Structure 1
Amino acid sequence: MSPQFGYPCLRASLNFVLYPLMVLAFWICLTPSPAVAQGEWAAHGRDLAETRYSPLNQIDTENVGRLEIAWTWDIPKAGARLETSPLVVDGVMYGTGPLSFVFALDARTGEEKWRWDPAIPDARHGGPGACCGNVNRGVALHGDKIFVGLLDGRLVALNRESGTVEWTVQTTPAGSDYTITGAPRVARDKVIIGNGGAEYGVRGYVTAYDVERGDQVWRTYTVPGNPADGFENDAMRVAADTWTGNWWIAGGGGTVWDAMVYDETANLLYLGTGNGAPWNREYRSPGGGDNLYLSSIVALNADNGEYVWHYQTTPGDDWDYTATQPLMLLDLEIEGEVREVIVQAPKNGFFYVVDRITGELISAEAFTDDLTWATHVDLLTGRPVESSEARYGMNRRGAWLSPGPTGAHNWRPMSWNPLTGLVYLPAQNNTYYYQMAEQLEYTPGRWNTGTGRGRSEQRPERPQLTGPSTLLLAWDPATNQEAWRVPSAGGNGGTLSTGGNLTFWGTGSNLVALDARSGEQAWSFEVGRGTATPITYSIDGRQYITIAAGMGVQNLPPRVWTFSVEEGVGSLNRN
């Protein structure tokens, strides 16, 4: 396998007895793939495997305390949390802000090169109603084009040099309840985009477009439509057998609003699908059923979008337990055998390790402290073993359950470090009172969850959390066990891992650097509330760390912060 897929031979190399051979094998493992220039951040998760690991090591545990501001740039668009992961290619940084605003900066100095504002109004002024904020997670790049998904459902190709529009396509029905907040992904000559909006009542799908012209190449739905209209393919026919009632009226859900990852060698595109529409299965599918392919990892043939396999993390989702959280491709030594896997920590609180070629579940373990909807995942059936109170709708009895709809992990990306063998996961503990609504009449343009909270005085006492509300977990995916943890002082951002034995993490109002082996804090800087996800890159022999943060409060506007050590300190990729 190419090193871009998680540096698979590293662990095997460490078993060599002869030191010279060990060193040689080590450096073969760390030779970057031709697809990923060592000093650049050219894709959403840096490499196609979305490991968010960079081998850059000029900034390390010895000198990270000397990090200082290299430059900042204020994002001239506010009103939503920042979730962008900027790209850096050929010395230019490309990122996004609220309401699908796009910018290009000189990555050395922060000087603006161009900006593009699609001028989408927010919901108060006639714009699309987004479930969870007018956010955007970033762009994709191919050749001379930058691709961005817009909140109103358009996919736009911009010229990299000028920011002018090359082509645009409406990927969703205009004026509908669909939105786009996720970053597009590129698979060879296709750019692929999903959408969101399940709370409002939509049917999920992903679409591939030709990168040069914007022509639609294929479209794949994630849940079946009305059987009377026929099925698009056999996968939808099979899925329909797991639904009952008239699910298609409210769309069914299953939107792909974030997670996608592409295995170039296998030519498989992996999707993480979302919750049901409505949330409550008793309204959505009153006879029960698994409701495929909700809350699933789904593998598609990237050439034509055909279904290959799926693994459902939450059968018959009743709790908004999406599987849209970031996906990552790794090659791990598990019980003496190197396995090509895909890993995910979705909302439901279990960390999954799945064979990415066959879809076989290898392991699943709870990563959150507060998990009461299920006791464990049965490895023989691959299904969670639900607690007796979990099906609040079927029981016709409300219940406090953990995690709640915000999940044990949400959009915030995790990262991998092949030198430690650990994944760095921004996790959270929370609880929520789930109760079936007395009635549900599907209404377009409004949330249609089929749930209610009931009167507060009629609910049982809220249980106390056993773990911290937010934290960073260092997780060993090979053994599926926690290695160490660091509680957070506020909300989580995403993580970055580097060859300097560092993990960078947005937490509360700060960007912090931790020792990747021990979790000991080595540096911290206040950047403002609502931290996004850090990235790193190098130009002219100097390494930089960048994060977007700030929500326009406490005198800290939405801003791109870039840090570096003073010139002459350290050298890139030294032995």
Structure 2
Amino acid sequence: MPSTRFGRGLAAALLLAAVALAAPLQGRAQGRAAAVDHAALGNVDAPAQVGNWLSYGRDWGEQRYSPLAQINAGNVARLGLAWFDDLDTMRGVQGTPLVVDGVLYNVSIYNIVTAYDAATGRKLWTYDPQVGAEWARLACCGPSARGIAAWNGKIYIGALDGRLIAVDAASGQEVWTTQTFEREGLLNAYSITGAPRVYDGKVVIGNGGADYGVRGFVAAYDAETGERLWKFYTVPGNPADGPDGAASDSAMQIALPTWHGEWWRWGGGGTAWDSFAYDPDLNLVYIGTGNGTPHMWSIRSNGQGDNLFLCSIVAVDATSGEYRWHYQMVPEEDWDYTCTQPMVLANLPIAGRTRQVIMQAPKNGFFYVLDRATGELLSAETYVSQNTWASHIDMATGRPVLQPGAHNTATPHLMSPSWMAAHTWHPMAYSPQTGLVYFSAQEQGDVYAAMDAGDFTFVRHRSNSGQQRRNDPELRARLMAQARAEEKGYLLAWNPVTQTEAWRVPYRVPGSGGVLATAGNLVIQGTIDQTLAIYRADNGEKLWEMDIDQAPVAGAITYLVDGVQYIAINAGWGGSPVYNLGPFTTGTAKLLVFRLDASGVTLPPPPPPGDLPRPPFLTATEDQVARGRELYGETCARCHGPNAVGGLKDLRWMTAETRARFADIVLRGLYAERGMIGFADVLDEDGAAAIHAFLIARANEDYADASPGAPVLPPRREQ
């Protein structure tokens, strides 16, 4: 592989950008089919492609770096809103759009895809796969989709309900559809929230659901027909069943000895719900795998074994799906850590020679650099100031050196990083211009304790963590107060060669979104302060910021149409909870598109602020509140936040009307059309009442601090 393939220099980037600007895009036509093939995706910086955004991470190496430089550090202050589309939802919108020859393809919640004229915003077509509203609950973390894929005149959708769908890029008409997983059965609580990728005519897709009890796998499908080509399981099944007859059979011989007990009863987990990368010269697909089911290692595997391939990078042959190598970041996974965070390929100068590397900053707070041909660990250092999981990575063995008391016992303890992640799925970028990696980092501890294995009961479509949530309430309260006091969020620029921080931009709280880097010496990020902000890539100086009344979590893209550079981002809040966010009001989610000197387009006014409703007095017993805390943690926390703080809707501050309807909402699906279908299959009247009692208790605990003079919107950052 040429050393410049994933290590483009500044001169080459600026030259390509200049060529593109000198010759406006040719052949652009509204609704034109997407001409995406190996030549296009293998040469994204060529003059014919440099203005496009052809894949989730722009290139197969997922660098999220653009050599376009028309918008740059010298003129970005002239940036203005060119057009926007209201996506008509209050839910999180996490998708990365694609742009092919002047057409922008975007995906919103429930996998609704719309094609636009990328210069004007005129809608060309919309395709709605009719995903049922119940999937907002059946999927672990809501109905968001992170992206789509393009190949040979088709757009590919990994639908929440497991369908892989190909639609015609010119018309939006469905071409074929195939179901990627079974939807019935105790251990079939799968969903798809990640973006499909197309590697040389093969559509690769993973799935989510490890928290609900599934056995993770990745599959590849023929891009023209939808026929499945290979399937790779990420964890072993029941040994009594023998080989699966899948591409992963040889790998399962490696993984099986690292598991103990009867893990297969609950699936095992290891779902690949987000991150992939591809090296065409090595013919390798890289898979980032997730956490275990149940989360507690003591229950899942009798507290024994590394549990391969949980929280690992696994490299497989792109043609056959067969195992080539793996590196496990989190052996003995016990903390709901995932290694599904973005993986980036680059060529770096390390120890006097150029190394072909794959880089990742997963949940556990360490930044890893591996040789992408062999999986050899080249370096790993923590990028957060506090890491109660591991002190360092032993370079001789590649294993983490765990901190004393890191593994979960019955005694509550504070873990940081926690399941909320030192770096979550939010896209990161690598700039060959600066040699730096940029990503949203955060420090959010949470309280962990393991229940006794004999007390664990598996419930389908509910988080089966195995956590004990009822004991030692006073200790838990002290630990949660500490977690809230120590919470941090920041944009981090990291040097992967020296494994050191180059610069950071601190935010008031965690929750800021994915990033984009460009040859204009820019880093672009949506912020938790409900702005879009742009910084100098070399030193982090803020150059431009705009209030947008939303906190984008998706990554921005940039593209070129008729010689004009644009920046686009989906702005819709959703994702990991934030302890100290406070009352938080946003407008509807929107697709926002910017260019230099744009004017005359304004966003609608934000919703008016409201006062916090006074919670009712607590009349429940301590036992009811304790049971409610446990049920809330397993049933509600993924969407509504740990300890009832933050999340999609902060349930501490329900209105009196909502409280009066609580049982109807939770059990009978009163708000099913909003995705809140009933939980009568996993809760009874007493359980719902216990959850309500816990929420009333939490509201009374926090009302005095949250209400008087509390801002309804986060304070604005300087313009």
TM-score by length of 1: 0.92
- CA-to-aligned-CA distance 1:211-268 (integer Å, 9 cap, x gap): 0000000000000000111123121022110000011010000000000111111110
Q: 1:100 to 1:3 in 2, by over 3 A?
A: farther
Q: 1:530 to 1:436 in 2, by over 3 A?
A: same
Residues 79 and 134 in structure 1, CA contact (< 8 A), matched pair in contact too: no
Aligned residue number for residue 48 of structure 1: 60
Task: Name whichever of 553-562 and 370-379 sits farther off.
Answer: 553-562
Whole-angstrom CA distance in 2 between matches of 1:218 and 1:430: 38
Residues 3 and 29 in structure 1, CA contact (< 8 A), matched pair in contact too: no
Whole-angstrom CA distance in 2 between matches of 1:171 and 1:374: 37
Whole-angstrom CA distance in 2 between matches of 1:489 and 1:548: 22
Say which of 113, 127, 130 aligns to 1:119: 130
Task: Name whichever of 463-472 and 52-61 sits farther off.
Answer: 463-472
Aligned residue number for residue 571 of structure 1: none
Q: 1:464 to 1:137 in 2, by over 3 A?
A: closer
Matched, 1:523 2:544: yes
Whole-angstrom CA distance in 2 between matches of 1:166 and 1:26: 39
Matched, 1:430 2:449: no
Say which of 397, 413, 417 aligns to 1:381: 397
Whole-angstrom CA distance in 2 between matches of 1:127 and 1:528: 24
Matches for 1:274-423 after TM superposition, within 5 Å: 274-393=290-409, 396-423=410-437
Matches for 1:115-514 after TM superposition, within 5 Å: 115-123=126-134, 129-175=138-184, 176-232=188-244, 233-393=249-409, 396-438=410-452, 439-455=455-471, 456-459=473-476, 461-462=478-479, 463=482, 469-490=488-509, 491-508=511-528, 509-514=530-535
Matched, 1:564 2:595: yes
Whole-angstrom CA distance in 2 between matches of 1:421 and 1:127: 40
Residues 153 and 170 in structure 1, CA contact (< 8 A), matched pair in contact too: yes
- CA-to-aligned-CA distance 1:522-562 (integer Å, 9 cap, x gap): 00112233402110001111100111113598562111100
2:229 partner SS: strand
Q: 1:43 to 1:4 in 2, by over 3 A?
A: farther
Task: Name whichever of 267-276 and 33-42 sits farther off.
Answer: 33-42
| Greater fraction helix | 2
Whole-angstrom CA distance in 2 between matches of 1:264 and 1:217: 18
* One-letter amino acid of the counterpart of residue 477, structure 1: P
How far has the Cα of 1:363 moved from its partner? Answer: 0.4
How far has the Cα of 1:464 moved from its partner? Answer: 5.3
Whole-angstrom CA distance in 2 between matches of 1:207 and 1:24: 36
* One-letter amino acid of the counterpart of residue 548, structure 2: V
Matched, 1:62 2:68: no
Whole-angstrom CA distance in 2 between matches of 1:485 and 1:425: 10
Larger radius of gyration: 2
Whole-angstrom CA distance in 1 between matches of 2:159 and 2:194: 9
Percent identity over the alignment?
Answer: 46
Residues 557 and 567 in structure 2, CA contact (< 8 A), matched pair in contact too: yes
How far has the Cα of 1:4 moved from its partner? Answer: 7.5
Residues 550 and 589 in structure 2, CA contact (< 8 A), matched pair in contact too: no
How far has the Cα of 1:459 moved from its partner? Answer: 2.8
How far has the Cα of 1:101 moved from its partner? Answer: 1.4
How far has the Cα of 1:120 moved from its partner? Answer: 1.8
Matched, 1:38 2:50: yes
Matched, 1:535 2:566: no
How far has the Cα of 1:209 moved from its partner? Answer: 0.3
How far has the Cα of 1:489 moved from its partner? Answer: 3.7
* One-letter amino acid of the counterpart of residue 400, structure 1: L
How far has the Cα of 1:30 moved from its partner? Answer: 11
Whole-angstrom CA distance in 2 between matches of 1:297 and 1:322: 10
How far has the Cα of 1:466 moved from its partner? Answer: 8.4
Residues 154 and 171 in structure 1, CA contact (< 8 A), matched pair in contact too: yes
Aligned residue number for residue 545 of structure 1: 567
**Unaligned stretches of 5+ in structure 2?**
20-39, 575-583, 599-719
* One-letter amino acid of the counterpart of residue 115, structure 1: T
Aligned residue number for residue 613 of structure 2: none
Residues 79 and 98 in structure 1, CA contact (< 8 A), matched pair in contact too: no
Whole-angstrom CA distance in 1 between matches of 2:407 and 2:136: 36
Q: 1:300 to 1:30 in 2, by over 3 A?
A: farther
Whole-angstrom CA distance in 1 between matches of 2:439 and 2:344: 12
| Greater fraction strand | 1
Residues 81 and 530 in structure 1, CA contact (< 8 A), matched pair in contact too: no
Residues 90 and 588 in structure 2, CA contact (< 8 A), matched pair in contact too: no
Residues 95 and 102 in structure 1, CA contact (< 8 A), matched pair in contact too: yes
Aligned residue number for residue 17 of structure 1: none
2:255 partner SS: helix
- CA-to-aligned-CA distance 1:16-61 (integer Å, 9 cap, x gap): xxxxxxx689969999963451111001001111000000001111
Whole-angstrom CA distance in 1 between matches of 2:559 and 2:411: 52
Q: 1:278 to 1:5 in 2, by over 3 A?
A: farther
Say which of 105, 109, 113 aligns to 1:102: 113
Whole-angstrom CA distance in 1 between matches of 2:444 and 2:573: 23
Whole-angstrom CA distance in 1 between matches of 2:433 and 2:353: 19
- CA-to-aligned-CA distance 1:336-371 (integer Å, 9 cap, x gap): 110000000000000000000000000000011221
* One-letter amino acid of the counterpart of residue 89, structure 1: V
Q: 1:128 to 1:179 in 2, by over 3 A?
A: farther
Aligned residue number for residue 6 of structure 2: 6
Whole-angstrom CA distance in 1 between matches of 2:12 and 2:142: 49
Whole-angstrom CA distance in 1 between matches of 2:331 and 2:124: 47
Q: 1:384 to 1:165 in 2, by over 3 A?
A: same
**Unaligned stretches of 5+ in structure 1?**
12-22, 568-575
Q: 1:3 to 1:164 in 2, by over 3 A?
A: farther
Q: 1:530 to 1:265 in 2, by over 3 A?
A: same
Q: 1:489 to 1:359 in 2, by over 3 A?
A: same
How far has the Cα of 1:5 moved from its partner? Answer: 4.1
Whole-angstrom CA distance in 2 between matches of 1:3 and 1:546: 31
How far has the Cα of 1:479 moved from its partner? Answer: 1.0
* One-letter amino acid of the counterpart of residue 549, structure 1: A
Task: Name whichever of 60-69 and 484-493 sits farther off.
Answer: 484-493
- CA-to-aligned-CA distance 1:305-359 (integer Å, 9 cap, x gap): 0000000000010001100000000100012110000000000000000000000
Q: 1:28 to 1:75 in 2, by over 3 A?
A: closer
2:298 partner SS: helix
Instruction: Provide the aligned length of Structure 1 versus Structure 2.
Output: 551
